[in-house]
Amino acid sequence: MDTGTHIVMGIALGGLATIDPVVQNDPTLFHAVLVGTIVGSHAPDFDTVFKLKNNATYIRHHRGASHSIPAIILWGLIVSGIIYSVVPEVSYFHLWFWTFLAVIIHVFVDLFNAYGTQAFRPFTNRWIALGFINTFDPYIFMLNIGGVSAWLLGAHPGYTWLIIYTVIALYYIKRYMDKREIVKKIKDFIPETVEVATSPTLKQNNWRVAITTKDMFYVAAVENGHIEIVDEFDKVQLPDTPMMEKALTDKNIASFLNFSPVYRWEINEFDEYTEIRFIDLRYRSKEYYPFVAVVQINPDLEIISSYTGWIFSEHKLQNKLVIEDSPV
């Protein structure tokens, strides 16, 4: 989910904690728990600091190790431990429990969007991206804002959030059923379908999908149950050439391939260099595929420039390739 939703969910969990009699009867503990749930609900995304280094490092690590099982345990201990060092008179167990729960919920809800997480590390490095809740879902966000507003107006926070999160749980079930129906229709439409990557948009009945068969990739839009194929590409193996071998050693390309399960590639020859481009097919927006990785290699098989990230125009991409430092 986006940062704003994680924060309001942290506030919500702090309110829900008042169903715990120990928290409800100790104002100091309640405020400590509220801080813990707000910070804990955002803590796994502290890996955003990797952006200060470069996009490749950020893409490789964001929602990776920081969302793993060991990290979930550590975040709960670290955040609650810091708060407890400031207010040692409160019950540490209750502070830790609600903070730890906030971290768990953060990682759990991140499983449901198209970006996903590596939540089951160290047992598997596979990205889990269930793809039926948008990274920013206005319904979930507004329900949380409504709960905060009701709380400020005097509603009992514990019961308020129990009601709201029951509604949200039902909404998740509804969205799962929506996705299942879409996948079924796609498999009926294209019987040779092997895999379907779904990505919901902000509009409730509009979805982006990337369809994989044995020999093809299809990019489609689904609106109100109607499937429209908007692009199709042959599924071609990467060539076994020195140029491609060199491209695969680039850190930007490696980060992209570590993250993207559905992509196509293309090679463009220029006078002074060869450009190899990898394009994620899951995020088509306004006839453009914004998540890419590009490497430029000269005839001596030296990487002269590369980039990976979200780019919404060819002009900006070329500027990035000039600005970005060449990988070592």
Amino acid 50: pLDDT = 76
- Which positions ≥6 away from 223 have C-beta within 8 Å? 205, 206, 207
- Is residue 271 helix, strand or coil? coil
Amino acid 51: pLDDT = 73
Amino acid 320: pLDDT = 78
> What are the residue ranges of helices labelled H in 48-89?
55-61, 69-86
Give which of 257, 218, 312 is closest to 56, Cα–Cα: 257
Amino acid 297: pLDDT = 96
pLDDT in tens, 107-163: 999 999 988 888 999 999 888 999 999 999 999 999 999 999 999 999 999 899 999
Q: How far apart are CA 239 and CA 243, in angstroms?
A: 9
Spacing of C-alpha 214 from chain mean position:
27
Q: 209-247 burial, b if ≥16 CB within 10 A, otherwise e?
A: bbbbeeeebbbbbbeeeebeeeeeeeeeeeeeeeebebb
Amino acid 57: pLDDT = 75
Low-confidence ranges of the chain (pLDDT < 50): 323-328
With the CA atoms of 153, 158, 163 and 166 taken in that order, what torsion angle do they form, in degrees rounded to the nearest 10? 140
Amino acid 326: pLDDT = 44
- The dihedral through the CA atoms of 304, 308, 309, 310 has a sign that is positive
CB atoms within 10 A of CB 135: 15
Amino acid 47: pLDDT = 82
**Token reading at 201:** 């948009």
Spacing of C-alpha 115 from chain mean position:
3
